[in-house]
Amino acid sequence: MSNNRFNFSLRTRLFFSITAVFLLVSFVIQLTLWLMMQSSESYTNQPIKDWQQTHLVSRYEQSSTQSALSHLCHQKKPIDVLYWQQLYAQITINELLIADVSGTPIWSCQQPLPSKNLWLSLPLQSRDDLADALTNKPNSGVELLPDGSYLVIKAIENKSGDVIGVLVSKQQWHKIDLFSHWFYQPSKALMNAVQFSIGNLFWGLPSALLIAFFIARLISIRLSAISRIISFWSKGNLTPRLDVVGTNQIAGSLQQLNQLAQDVETLLSEQKQQVQLAERQRIAAELHDTVKQLLFANNLQLAGCEQALNKSIQQAQPFLKTAQANNHQAFEQINQLIDALKPEAFIGEGFFPAINQMLIDWADKSGIEVQNHISQIDALSAQTCHLLHRCMQEALQNISKHSTATVVTITLIKQEVKQGIEQKAEQNNTLELTINDNGKNAQLQPFGQGLLLMQTRLQTLNGSLDIDTQNGYQLLIRIPL
């Protein structure tokens, strides 16, 4: 099955990634702030405290009659306190009393009403809770008594929010400890965190989407510009440079890429100059060894001809014929140099026909038979074709100048070498060019100037040159593909 529908663009991937990160960071920050705000709040017995407010205080405030709590005076069974529909604790109410703002009892489950004011009847440690309740100060309002029961003091307010009295009860609590420790606190924190996050999601999500859109767009535009410059570099045009803005790590990396392009451009320029210099040196050597020597010989022949003319025409004719032959040979050598320097229009599909025609022309001019075993090989690069052409030219020129050969054999094949184990095979293709003649080559040194230049050119493509002089003279050239 194709996965094209999941092949999102770079801008889309950046947009969703930045949105997700922004929302996650926002949630963590909001949760941290909420936890800091709630750090002073104690969750111990919180469901019981909530029950006190909803089932005792609020019920009395809503009815404003003491009878709203009368049913609790005859409650014999413990009252279940639930949290998320789970049993959290059981409460048994032993005493229940309501007093006014002065602390005087106005209703109680016990009859008759207690005669003492609460400021006198309550334990000393509970009077602070009474004072906080009457002044509407925040306080838990719960005190643990020596007998293990709890004294709960809660403020009673009217509809205007004014304190009109207090509710005092003595209770026995039986908590489900496992539920309290392992369920309540994590669930309470999670519930509040989710509520807090959902509330902030209405402004956080649009902000995240907007910020992610602009950031993704800026990054996408920046990467597109970088990709465009790199595409120029890949095509050999190293002149364009990446725009560097700022001094951060990304700007530093882009600056290094610019420097790398500059270094490569400088290196290529230097290599080009070295190749041109080497080619000029080779041409100078060829001119020195061929045309210059022939012209010098012609000067001698013409000088001898001038002296012979003073005696007789018959004596001058041999000198003139020799000078004419030298001029013809110099003309041929100049043509060879021109052929070596002219552009290679045969590079590509016309390479092999041009090479075959070159061998035919050379055989006609040199009088040496050429046995052509060049195989047609596809997909050769222009640099490889150029190198093969130069190697053949140099080898044939050396044979025509220095060899006594009558037959030259040229072979070009693609050698395949397989290496590996089982199914993991690596195939390395190598071009092998063999040029072999049957002459003695007494005057040809193993590595003259031309062969050294050929070897230098081969090194640019990781190629190699081997010479065998045991049977005739053989050049073996290998170029990895």
pLDDT in the model for residue 410: 92
pLDDT in the model for residue 362: 86
Domain boundary among 175, 207, 224: 175
Residue 38 has pLDDT above 60, yes or no: no
Domain boundary among 142, 175, 208: 175
Question: For residue 391, is it within any domain?
Answer: yes
Domain boundary among 175, 205, 236: 175
367-394 per-position pLDDT tens digit? 889 999 888 887 777 778 878 888 888 8
Q: Which residue segment(s) compose the domain that 129 sits in?
A: 46-175
pLDDT in the model for residue 152: 92
Residue 330 has pLDDT above 70, yes or no: yes
Residue 315 has pLDDT above 90, yes or no: no
- Total number of domains constituting the chain: 2
Share of the chain above pLDDT 70, in %: 75
- First-to-last alpha carbon distance for the chain, in angstroms, is 36
Question: For residue 89, is it within any domain?
Answer: yes
418-475 per-position pLDDT tens digit? 554 444 434 468 889 999 888 765 444 555 667 777 787 788 788 888 888 777 778 8
Give the domain CATH number at 355: 3.30.565.10
160-194 per-position pLDDT tens digit? 888 989 999 999 888 776 554 455 556 666 666 67
56-60, 288-292, 452-456: segment of lowest average pLDDT: 288-292
Question: For residue 256, is it within any domain?
Answer: no
59-68, 133-142, 252-261, 350-359: segment of lowest average pLDDT: 59-68
pLDDT in the model for residue 442: 47
pLDDT in the model for residue 396: 86
- The whole model's pTM is what? 0.38
Average the pLDDT over 383-409 and give the result: 83
Question: For residue 350, is it within any domain?
Answer: yes
pLDDT in the model for residue 3: 45
pLDDT in the model for residue 392: 87
Higher-scoring residue by pLDDT: 121, 276 = 121
Question: For residue 102, is it within any domain?
Answer: yes
Question: For residue 76, is it within any domain?
Answer: yes
426 three-state secondary structure:
strand
Alpha carbon separation from 27 to 122, 191, 344, 346 (Å, rounded): 47, 14, 68, 68
Mapped to the 3 state alphabet, what secondary structure does 252-277 carry? HHHHHHHHHHHHHHHHHHHHHHHHHH
Mapped to the 3 state alphabet, what secondary structure does 310-343 carry? CCCHHHHHHHHHHHHHHHHHHHHHHHHHHHHHCC
